[in-house]
Chains A and B, each alone.
Chain A
Amino acid sequence: MCGIAGIYNAAKISEDSPSTTEGMLSALVHRGPDGWGTYRTDQVSLGHVRLSIVDIEGGHQPMVTERYAISYNGEIFNYIELREELEQKGIRFQTNCDTEVVLKSFEVYGAEALSRFNGQFSLLLWDRIERRLLVARDRLGIRPLYVLQLGKTYYFASEVKAFDAIKGYQRSLDMHNLFEHALLWNTLNDATVFEDIRSLPAGCYEIYGEDTFPKTFRYYEIGESTPPASPPSFKQAVGEFKELLQDSITLRLRSDVPVATYLSGGIDSSVITHLTSRIKADQFKTFSVAFSDKDFDESTYQQEMVAHLNTDHTEVKVNYEMINRTLSDAVYHLERPIFRTAPVPLFLLSEEVNRQGIKVVLTGEGADEILFGYDSFKELKLLDFWRKQPESKLRPLLIKRLYPHLQHYKDSRQFGMMRMYYEGFLTNITNEMASLNIRVHNNKAIANFFNKDFKLSFDHQGLLGKIKQAIPDNFSSWSLLQRNQFLEIKSLLSGYLLSSQGDRMSMAHSVEGRYPFLDHRLIEKVFHYPDSYKMKILKQKYLLTKAFEENIPSVIVNRPKRPYMSPDLKSFFVNGKLTESAEYFLSDPVIDNYGIFDKKYVGRLINKFKRKLPENIGYRDNMLITFLLSTQMCCHWAENPKKEKLNYSLKTTDIIDC
Chain B
Amino acid sequence: MAENIKGKFLDFIARNFMVEIDEIPLDESLIDEGIIDSFGLIEIASFIESEFGILVKEEQMTRSNFGSVHLIVDFVKGQES
Contact = CB atoms under 8 A, between A and B. Distances in A.
Nearest to A624: B18
A416 B60 contact: yes
A241 interface: no
Contact of A413 (B15, B18, B32, B58): B58
Contact of B15 (A419, A422, A458, A608): A608
A605 interface: yes
A88 to B, nearest CB: 59
Given A424-B32, A608-B16, A417 B41 contact: yes
A618 B43 CA distance: 9
A416 B61 contact: yes
Given A413-B58, A444-B34, A608-B15, A420 B66 contact: yes
A396 B17 CA distance: 27
A605 B15 CA distance: 8
Interface in B16-68: 16-19, 29, 31-32, 34-35, 37-45, 56-63, 66
Contacts of B43: 618
A65 interface: no
A601 interface: yes
B15 A604 contact: yes
Interface in A416-447: 416-424, 441-442, 444-445
Interface string A385-427: 0000000000000000000000010001111111111111000
A448 interface: yes
- Dominant SS at the B interface? helix
Interface string A604-645: 110110000000101110000000000000000000000000
A408 B39 contact: yes
B11 to A, nearest CB: 12
Contact of B61 (A420, A442, A620): A420
B39 A420 contact: no
A618 B18 contact: no
Contacts of B35: 445
Nearest to A603: B18
Given A416-B58, A416-B59, A445-B17, A458 B34 contact: yes
A618 B40 contact: yes
Interface of B: 15-19, 29, 31-32, 34-35, 37-45, 56-63, 66
Interface of A: 408, 412-424, 441-442, 444-445, 448-449, 458, 601, 604-605, 607-608, 616, 618-620
6 contacts: A420-B61, A420-B62, A423-B63, A441-B34, A445-B37, A604-B18
